[in-house]
Chains A and B, each alone.
Chain A
Amino acid sequence: MDPKAKSKKVKIDVDYLAQLSKLKLSDKEKQRLEKHLTSTLDFVANIQSFNFKDLDSVNIELVSNCMFKDGQVNPLNFDKKKLFKNARSFINNYFEVDRIL
């Protein structure tokens, strides 16, 4: 894993983002924002190079041990068949819902 590895460039549409954000921008601001947003996204895209498989084993403890509350966390033993009985639709143990956006 190389945290400084370059990922492929991300293209951003400032006008669309401004519309999503309900912000009015001047042309000068748009130009400056495009430059800033592109370089930030280029940097943070390094998380896509992170290899999760290397660290899979360390996750277990977080689930079984809650340091913020007294008592024990009980493992969830759902009967999946029962759980999905009334589901309109599901794929591979996940509920399928309509897209929001």
Chain B
Amino acid sequence: MSELLGFGVLQLKRLITAKKISAKEVFNYFLERIKKYDRQINGYVTVCNNNDGKLPIAVKDNFCTNGIRTTASSKVLDNFVPNYNAEVVDRLLTNGFSIIGKTNMDAWAHGSSTETSDYGATKNPWNLSHIPGGSSGGSAAVVSSYLAPAAIGSETAGSIRQPAGWCGVIGFKPTYGRVSRFGLIAMASSFDCPGPITLNTEDSAYLLSILAGKDNKDATTIDKPAEDYLSKLSDREPLTIGIPEEYFNEVQKETIDGFEKTKQVFKKLGYKFKKIKLISPEYAISVYTIIQRAEVASNLARFDGIRFGNNKSYFGFEAKKRIMLGNFVLSAGYYSAFYQQAQKLRDKIKADFVKVFHDVDLILAPVVPTTALKLGEFEKYPFFGELIDKFNEPAAIAGLPAVSFPTGLDKNNLPTSLQLIGNYLQELKLLQTLYAFEQETKFFNVIKSGFKKWK
């Protein structure tokens, strides 16, 4: 069975179709690996042992799963078992998947390290004294260590791209509204976006084809049919990639080296590059922090212990902090100076991107200024998560699609990464470009060397 190591969802599916292995055996293979390694990584909050002969997939613990405990990694929802599935989960189940487990995350998705989880921090599979990033840290870590062939995460601003970047896998954040939020425990509703974390581009395209599309239960989903991303993956036209200078300040040397290397590959593939100017990401930190806190204050008000879960006394420090700041920026006297100003600036950031996408097709930028930090670093700063995600926040504020991917390793053997950002609904362009890059480089063998550590 060890020859299965590193097989993606579609590769496993092909083996099953060719009757070389049964889905039941595949599921058991992952259960065995979870039993063997997850004690060290702590990627799962709940493991589902009910092997029903379908392809396993891991799902972040903020997606409601019928009959399976859903905690959002908070003790407030310690014993909450939903009686319905999130739309994302329903679509996976009807397409031949079975949930192998619910992955760890920052409690309520509040954080970028998975250390705020009430079920203990997830460790980075590349180095257990480092964090995997977050909030979808559990999803990224289980894919990186091959405790699942793929996972579903959710992103408010960087929560898919950043942990995928720090764990050396692929994290895809679609256009806001491309994938339904129905049944996703809300963090900030005007940003939240589910997306896949995978080992290869094919799997991202395949999973996105399943997840994307209009859902009548979520009024913010886009009323346009989803494309068949998988069948068009190898079609590609020469594109122009924009380089925003503002995104390269205070970035670790090895990430810049990865960028130069990546740029050369794209040039060889026929892509053109153009320097572009965007509003400073420093403003995006403020806009995101203010609007997100306001929406958190509103969304968490429902967890009063009456309808479901435990009462507010179970909220952790981070949740309390966010609720209070949210109420502050919405309160009389401060509303116009903070919340209204942030909403105005959000419009400007969107318009800024729309303008730039007249000149370029895609944008290439770092995901994070550094590689994965050590456990405990986030604790030292009041809103370090927002600072570390400053290159992810602008696209999230604008609701644009983006994908992060590995570009190499730093001197501590931790993955470096970059992201491609696309215009609204240009998921296919992103996937085609990434696929071409993957065919040429195999992501410099980063993904492969990640799971090889967990034989």
B142 contact set on A, CB distance < 8 A: none
Q: Pick the residue among B177, B312, B345, B355 that contacts A50 (CB under 8 A).
A: B345
7 contacts between A and B (CB under 8 A): A12-B328, A44-B342, A46-B283, A55-B351, A62-B347, A62-B350, A101-B332
Distance of A22 Cα from B315 Cα, bound (Å): 12
Are A18's CB and B324's CB within 8 A? yes
Q: Which of A40, A45, A101 has the most CB of B within 10 A?
A: A40
Distance of A48 Cα from B338 Cα, bound (Å): 8
- Nearest chain B CB to A101's CB is how many angstroms away? 5
Interface string of A17-30 (1 = CB under 8 A from B): 11011111100010
Chain B residues in contact with chain A, CB under 8 A? 177, 222-224, 279-280, 282-283, 285-287, 289-290, 297, 301, 312-313, 315, 317, 320-321, 323-325, 327-328, 331-332, 334, 337-338, 341-342, 344-345, 347-348, 350-352, 354-355, 382-383, 423-425
Question: Is A35 an interface residue, CB under 8 A from the partner?
Answer: yes
Q: Pick the residue among A18, A47, A61, A68 that contacts B283 (CB under 8 A).
A: A47
Are A40's CB and B383's CB within 8 A? yes
Are A59's CB and B347's CB within 8 A? yes
- Nearest chain B CB to A15's CB is how many angstroms away? 11
Question: Is A94 an interface residue, CB under 8 A from the partner?
Answer: no
- Nearest chain B CB to A61's CB is how many angstroms away? 5
Are A69's CB and B223's CB within 8 A? yes
Question: Is A6 an interface residue, CB under 8 A from the partner?
Answer: no
Distance of A40 Cα from B280 Cα, bound (Å): 18
Given the interface pairs A24-B313, A35-B382, A58-B355, the reply to whether A46 lies near B286 with Cβ below 8 Å is: yes
B328 contact set on A, CB distance < 8 A: 12, 17, 37, 41
Are B327's CB and A44's CB within 8 A? no
B347 contact set on A, CB distance < 8 A: 59, 62
Looking at chain B's contact residues, the main secondary structure is: helix
Are A17's CB and B290's CB within 8 A? no
Distance of A12 Cα from B30 Cα, bound (Å): 50
Looking at chain A's contact residues, the main secondary structure is: helix
Q: Pick the residue among A47, A55, A59 that contacts B342 (CB under 8 A).
A: A47
Distance of A101 Cα from B333 Cα, bound (Å): 11
Beta-carbon nearest neighbor of B280 in chain A = A3
A37 contact set on B, CB distance < 8 A: 321, 324-325, 328, 382
B338 contact set on A, CB distance < 8 A: 44-45, 47
A50 contact set on B, CB distance < 8 A: 283, 341, 345, 348
Are A21's CB and B348's CB within 8 A? no
Distance of A14 Cα from B224 Cα, bound (Å): 46
Q: Pick the residue among B315, B350, B423, B424 that contacts A23 (CB under 8 A).
A: B315
- Nearest chain A CB to B423's CB is how many angstroms away? 8
Q: Pick the residue among A3, A18, A21, A59 that contacts B297 (CB under 8 A).
A: A21
Are B324's CB and A61's CB within 8 A? no
- Nearest chain B CB to A4's CB is how many angstroms away? 6
Are A44's CB and B344's CB within 8 A? no
Are B286's CB and A43's CB within 8 A? yes
Given the interface pairs A32-B317, A33-B320, A43-B285, the reply to whether A52 lies near B344 with Cβ below 8 Å is: yes
